[in-house]
Amino acid sequence: MSLDLVDTAGFDAVNDAVAYWLLPTPRGALHGFSAPEPNPMQRAVQALLAGHEAMELAQWRQEHDRAGRMLQQLRERQWVQLLRRPVPAPDVRLADFAQHVIAPLSGERRAVLASDSGFCLGQSGLTQELAETLAAAAADYSAFAQRQARRGWEGAQRVAFHSDPDMLLPDWSFVPFWVDGTGYWLVLAGEPLLNNLAMIELVWSIRLAGARFAAPL
């Protein structure tokens, strides 16, 4: 994915006579899809990845930000980026996810995409047996997190596992996200590289694929 970005200061100099387009940043995609029940700000971010190309700024404002405050809030959190021209949605077939989208999110290029029910939807750099084991572990942790939330503790959200007693770099990180109410987990070996355009491609492609992606490949 190649982006023709407008400088950050360009948000303040937007000319209504000129067309601009808006996309989430990788950070915006990660946070915008980080809850099963998104709040208004998260829904506004998710709307940017609903079509087959980046959403025009004027259209997004008309539908989600008539008062003009939402854009400012998203800018402050560095959740959105302004483009000079439209960007098409990624043309990534589901079978290609492991190689082109999931792998770059792991410092070791070893990763699993799992459903929150434990299906391995894609993997890179692992044996199928280990990938399925990690997908099952993600489902177990998902159930654990849900139990803690019912008890009133919202802290059980993401988890990392370390073999090094110093706990400097995780062996595995488990990162949940939700697309249109369906839960998924990224299981990433080594350093998690989530501030990556691949994060945008991942949630955008899943969203366009819809229900077809909920079934195991």
- Model confidence pLDDT, tens digit, residues 200-217: 999 999 998 874 444 444
Q: How many residues does the chain have?
A: 217
Distance from C-alpha of 137 to C-alpha of 32, rounded to nearest angstrom: 24
User: What residue ranges define each of the domains in the chain, with the CATH number in brackets?
Assistant: 8-83 (no CATH), 94-214 (3.30.450.30)
Give the residue ranges of DSSP H helices in the chain: 26-32, 40-47, 57-64, 69-76, 97, 128-150, 197-209
- Model confidence pLDDT, tens digit, residues 107-148: 999 999 999 999 999 999 999 999 999 999 999 999 998 899
Please report, rounded to a whole number, the percentage of residues in the chain having pLDDT higher than 90.
69
How high is the pLDDT of residue 54?
Answer: 94
Distance from C-alpha of 20 to C-alpha of 57, rounded to nearest angstrom: 6
Which residues contact residue 99 at a Cβ distance below 8 angstroms, ignoring those fewer than 6 apart?
A: 124
Closest listed residue to residue 194, CA positions, set 148, 150, 158: 158
How high is the pLDDT of residue 211?
Answer: 40
